[in-house]
A and B are shown apart, each in its own frame.
Chain A
Amino acid sequence: NAGVMQNPRHLVRRRGQEARLRCSPMKGHSHVYWYRQLPEEGLKFMVYLQKENIIDESGMPKERFSAEFPKEGPSILRIQQVVRGDSAAYFCASSPSSGRAGADTQYFGPGTRLTVL
C-alpha cells in the first residue's frame, strides 16, 4: 500500500520561473492538504482540497500561488514567478475523510524541496 507520493523531490528554479509540485494521495484518500516548511520552522498549513474543490486556502499567499486537485490525476501546487523567499520544503498530506471521529488523520508525503536561485 503505497503512501503519499510527491514529485519531484528536489526542484531548482531561477527567479521568475514557475514551479509545479505534484502530490498523489494514498489509495482511497480523497482529501489533500499542502503545508510549507521554512528552514528551522514548523510546518504551516497552506490549503485543503477535495476532488475538484478547494475547501480552505486561507494559508496560501494571495498572489502567485494556486492549487488544484482534479478529478483525475495528482494534486498540483503551482507557484508562478518564484522568488527566493519561496525556497522551502513543501509537504502534501492526505486523509480518507473528514468529520468522522479520528478518521481524518493526515499522512504526509516525503516533501518537495524547492530552491530558488
Chain B
Amino acid sequence: DAKTTQPTSMDCAEGRAANLPCNHSTISGNEYVYWYRQIHSQGPQYIIHGLKNNETNEMASLIITEDRKSSTLILPHATLRDTAVYYCIVGTSGTYKYIFGTGTRLKVLA
C-alpha cells in the first residue's frame, strides 16, 4: 500500500509556479522523499529527493516540513512540457521496492 497521499489532479497556468503537495504522515526518521514524473506513457523520470532539508536542482525545489509529515514539489515556471503525472515516494536509503500510488495529474494550461 502506498504510504503517501497526493491530490488526484491539478491545473497550473503556463509560466506560473506549480506547487504539488504530498502527505507522508507515517514517514520514519530514515526515510527519504523521492519525486518522479511520468510524461504521457514514458518511463518515470527522476526529479529530486530529500531527507529533511529543502533541496533544489535544475528541475525543481523540494520543501519538506519540519515534522517531515508532508512535502511540496515546486516547479518554479511551469511549461506545457511539464504536463505529467507526478509521483511522491518514500523509502529508506536501502529501499528498492518503490511504491507508486496514483500520483497527481498536473495539467499546465496555455
B100 in contact with A44 (CB, 8 Å): yes
The tally of residues in B whose CB lies under 8 Å from a CB in A reads 24
B96 in contact with A42 (CB, 8 Å): no
The tally of residues in A whose CB lies under 8 Å from a CB in B reads 32
Tell me, yes or no, whether A98 is within 8 Å of chain B by CB. Answer: yes
Chain B residues whose C-beta falls within 8 Å of the C-beta of A48 in the assembled complex:
96-97
A111 in contact with B96 (CB, 8 Å): no
Tell me, yes or no, whether B102 is within 8 Å of chain A by CB. Answer: yes
- Distance in angstroms between the alpha carbons of A4 and B45 in the assembled complex: 11
Chain A residues whose C-beta falls within 8 Å of the C-beta of B32 in the assembled complex:
102
Chain B, residue nearest A4 (CB): B43
B94 in contact with A91 (CB, 8 Å): no
B97 in contact with A105 (CB, 8 Å): no
Interface 0/1 of B74-110, CB less than 8 Å to A: 0000000000000100000111111111110000000
B100 in contact with A89 (CB, 8 Å): no
A-B pairs with beta carbons under 8 Å apart, 30 shown? A4-B43, A35-B100, A42-B87, A42-B100, A42-B101, A42-B102, A42-B103, A43-B98, A43-B100, A45-B97, A45-B98, A45-B99, A55-B96, A56-B97, A58-B97, A59-B97, A91-B43, A93-B43, A93-B44, A100-B93, A101-B93, A102-B32, A102-B93, A104-B94, A105-B46, A105-B49, A108-B45, A110-B43, A111-B42, A111-B43
* Chain B residues with a Cβ under 8 A of chain A: 2, 32, 34, 36, 41-46, 49, 51, 87, 93-103
